[in-house]
């Protein structure tokens, strides 16, 4: 079975006699080759990242290899296409063909350097390796280039922008100074406008002063930042975050489908349970309705019997319209029946409390007689006292 081995690195070596080696990274352009070796080469320093800060422009950078073993007999075409990922620009393409024997082996390699038309900026690149003919194979290998010096961003545009702000603030301050002086010479109450104009003048001056300091600070920070991180370095730092953001965006893009899929899956498993619950609830409601209906029939019969003994509504209305008289008549009738009993109870109780009740009763009669008619009472007593009468 045919086997394909591929990758990128800084060089190639021959793992059999005479053990040749070709180091491409940092070598002069077109000074290295690995043609006609006695066995399949292996990659030296295989890597996907190449730091060009250790070499100079006009040198080789990366070599790509494909090694095929147990080949099929026949024609093989091998192609290398080098591209810049930022704009998918084709930088270099190289092809060669080879007629292999059954069970044999063959290899191909290609390399690119740090020159204007190939690798000329930091960032992501890739090489597409294709085999066609009696064999069919294609792979894309991604690699990163960094370390190419980046010209610092000049801070002049920022300075000009800030200078424009400071200029307009200073002009506004000058205008309000003139307005303040003018208003100060007006008669009362118009001269009262001078105080707020002076305050506004002071505010614009304060803003102009601090924007000027801020402009100096921004220029210094911009110059330092340009020497610390290149645009590629910043993109490299943000790359993990951007990938997660992209994943999150894709997830939210499919959110509607995911929700509908989850609901469909849940409903398929819950449908039988829901149907059972509905049937149970319906049966319970049906039984409850039947029971209520039976009780209503019974109640109807009972109410019909009770209605025969109830008073006429007109009689109820008449009684209620004279409720005070009805109530008083009821109390009077009750009291008349209880009056003698109450009087007897009082008399018996007083006799128990006062053993000399009879004498007291006689005395009270005399007192009552005296109060009612004192002259008659005295007359009767004089007769008793002096004439010996009763």
**16 and 132 housed in the same domain:** yes
**164 and 217 housed in the same domain:** yes
Determine contact, residues 25/92, Cβ cutoff 8 Å. no
Largest CA distance in the chain: 185
**36 and 123 housed in the same domain:** yes
Percentage of residues of the chain with pLDDT beyond 70 = 52
**176 and 304 housed in the same domain:** no
Res. 76: pLDDT tops 80:
yes
Determine contact, residues 64/113, Cβ cutoff 8 Å. no
Q: What is the pLDDT of residues 99-115, one digit of tens each?
A: 999 999 999 999 999 99
**142 and 162 housed in the same domain:** no
Report the domain count for the chain: 4
Q: Is residue 239 part of a domain?
A: no
Q: Looking at the DSSP assignment, which residues form a beta bridge with residue 93? A: 81
**128 and 14 housed in the same domain:** yes
pLDDT number for residue 20: 96
Q: Is residue 65 part of a domain?
A: yes
Mean per-residue pLDDT for 176-191? 74
DSSP 372-390: H-HHHHHHHHHHHHHH---
Q: Is residue 151 part of a domain?
A: no
pLDDT number for residue 155: 46
CATH number at residue 41: 2.60.40.10
Q: Is residue 363 part of a domain?
A: yes
Q: Is residue 242 part of a domain?
A: no
Res. 366: pLDDT tops 50:
yes
Determine contact, residues 55/26, Cβ cutoff 8 Å. yes
**280 and 342 housed in the same domain:** no
pLDDT number for residue 205: 76
* Domain finish residue from 310, 331, 352: 310
Question: Assign residue 319 a region: left if phi > 0, alpha if psi is -120 to 50, beta otherwise?
Answer: alpha
For residue 269, which phi and psi values (nearest 5 degrees)?
-85, -25
Q: What is the pLDDT of residues 342-358, one digit of tens each?
A: 566 666 665 555 555 56
**75 and 29 housed in the same domain:** yes
pLDDT band at 154 (very low <50, low <70, confident <90, very high): very low
**141 and 179 housed in the same domain:** no
**290 and 333 housed in the same domain:** no
C-alpha 154/C-alpha 304 separation (Å) is 105
**79 and 188 housed in the same domain:** no
C-alpha 56/C-alpha 68 separation (Å) is 34
Mean per-residue pLDDT for 213-218? 72
Q: Is residue 235 part of a domain?
A: no
Where in the sequence is the domain holding 172, given as residue range(s)? 156-229
pLDDT number for residue 123: 95
pLDDT number for residue 87: 92
* Domain finish residue from 310, 334, 355: 310
Res. 332: pLDDT tops 70:
no
If DSSP states are collapsed to H, E and C, what string results for 265-305?
HHHHHHHHHHHHHHHHHHHHHHHHHHHHHHHHHHHHHHHHH
pLDDT number for residue 125: 97
Which of 125, 26, 136, 130 has its CA nearest to residue 82? Answer: 125
**24 and 80 housed in the same domain:** yes
Token digits for 171? 């002009």
Res. 44: pLDDT tops 70:
yes
Say which residue, 303 or 153, is predicted with more confidence: 303
Q: What is the pLDDT of residues 271-298, one digit of tens each?
A: 666 666 666 765 766 676 566 667 666 7
* Domain finish residue from 118, 146, 174: 146
Q: Is residue 330 part of a domain?
A: yes
C-alpha 142/C-alpha 62 separation (Å) is 12
Say which residue, 385 or 13, is predicted with more confidence: 13
Q: Is residue 316 part of a domain?
A: no
Res. 156: pLDDT tops 50:
no
Mean per-residue pLDDT for 135-147? 95
pLDDT number for residue 128: 97
pLDDT number for residue 304: 60
Q: What is the pLDDT of residues 317-329, one digit of tens each?
A: 666 566 556 656 6
pLDDT number for residue 41: 97
Mean per-residue pLDDT for 204-230? 69
pLDDT number for residue 136: 93
Which of 148, 134, 167 has its CA nearest to residue 53? Answer: 148
Q: What is the pTM of this model?
A: 0.42
pLDDT number for residue 166: 74
- Residue carrying structure tokens 């080789």: 60
């Amino acid at each position: 079975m045919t086997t394909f081995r591929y990758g990128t690195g800084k060089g190639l070596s021959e793992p059999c006699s005479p053990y040749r080696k070709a180091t491409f990274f940092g070598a002069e352009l077109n000074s290295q080759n690995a043609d006609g070796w006695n066995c399949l080469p292996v990659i030296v320093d295989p890597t996907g990242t190449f730091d060009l800060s250790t070499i100079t422009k006009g040198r080789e950078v990366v070599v790509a290899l494909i090694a095929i073993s147990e080949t099929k007999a026949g024609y093989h075409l091998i192609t290398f296409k080098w591209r810049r990922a930022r704009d998918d620009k084709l930088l270099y393409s190289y092809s060669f063909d080879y007629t292999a024997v059954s069970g044999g082996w063959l290899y191909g390699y290609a390399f690119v350097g740090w020159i204007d038309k190939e690798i000329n900026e930091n960032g992501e690149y890739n090489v597409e390796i294709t085999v066609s003919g009696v064999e069919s194979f294609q792979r894309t290998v991604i690699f990163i280039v960094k370390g190419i010096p980046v010209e610092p961003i000049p801070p002049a545009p920022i300075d000009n922008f800030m200078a424009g702000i400071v200029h307009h603030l200073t002009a506004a301050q000058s205008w309000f100074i003139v307005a303040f002086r003018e208003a100060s010479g007006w008669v009362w109450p118009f001269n009262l406008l001078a105080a707020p104009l002076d305050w506004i003048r002071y505010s614009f001056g304060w803003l102009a002063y601090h924007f000027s300091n801020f402009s100096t600070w921004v220029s210094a920070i911009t110059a330092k930042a340009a020497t610390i991180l290149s645009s590629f370095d910043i993109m490299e730092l943000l790359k993990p975050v951007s990938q997660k953001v992209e994943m999150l965006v894709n997830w939210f893009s499919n959110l509607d489908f995911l929700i509908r899929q989850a609901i469909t899956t849940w409903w398929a498993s819950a449908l039988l349970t829901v149907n059972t619950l509905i049937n149970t609830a319906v049966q319970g409601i049906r039984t409850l309705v039947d029971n209520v209906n039976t009780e209503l029939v019974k109640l109807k019969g009972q109410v019909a019997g009770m209605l025969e003994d109830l008073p006429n509504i007109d009689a109820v209305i008449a009684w209620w319209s004279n409720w005070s008289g009805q109530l008083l008549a009821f109390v009077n009738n009750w009291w008349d029946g209880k009056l003698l009993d109450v009087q007897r109870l009082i008399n018996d109780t007083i006799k128990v409390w006062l053993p000399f009740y009879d004498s007291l009763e006689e005395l009270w009669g005399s007192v009552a007689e005296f109060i009612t008619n004192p002259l008659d009472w005295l007359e009767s007593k004089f007769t008793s006292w002096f004439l010996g009468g009763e």
